[in-house]
Amino acid sequence: MSGTSQQLAPEPRSRRIDTRFSAAELALVEKVATWRKLPPSAFVRGAALAAAKKAEGYGGGAGAAEPSPAALTEGQLRALDAARVDVKRVGVNLNQLSRLGHRGVLDLESLAPVVDALAELYERMVDALSGKECP
């Protein structure tokens, strides 16, 4: 497959920052993280990165490409969560089928329906983020 670009895996999150909260602060963080259907660590990481990017002048202005997690509605979060579960299921199937294909047990062209399913799920996520109605 020469000439095709490969997407690099994201850098592993191996660095850690310990943060202390009062009971009331932690309760608020956990409450809002629950509303956003995020673990508290992901919510705190997202908020910290958004603040750091804003301080550095990234995004937030006209034409910002990606919404912050706080900008998503409850319906968008539900649609994205459902799509995430579906993407994981299809991705596991695609991984198993591609392994069979690399061993010569399965024709890789037969993966087209699985790739099509992933494309449909991608469209659902794009629609949810853009505010379009989701089924």
What is the pLDDT at residue 7?
54
Same domain, 75 and 114: yes
Q: Do 73 and 36 meet the contact criterion of CB atoms below 8 Å apart?
A: no
pLDDT band at 8 (very low <50, low <70, confident <90, very high): low
pLDDT band at 104 (very low <50, low <70, confident <90, very high): confident
Residue (of 10, 68, 83, 13) closest to 36 by Cα position: 68
Number of domains in the chain: 2
Looking at the whole model, is its pTM more than 0.85? Answer: no
**Distance (Å, rounded) from C-alpha 95 to C-alpha 48?**
34
- Does residue 55 lie in a domain region? yes
Same domain, 80 and 132: yes
- Does residue 122 lie in a domain region? yes
In whole angstroms, what separates CA 96 from the centre of its chain?
22
Q: What are phi and psi of 66, to 5 degrees?
A: -125, 135
Its domain, for residue 94, covers 71-135
- Does residue 128 lie in a domain region? yes
The mean-pLDDT minimum among 1-5, 71-75, 118-122 falls in 1-5
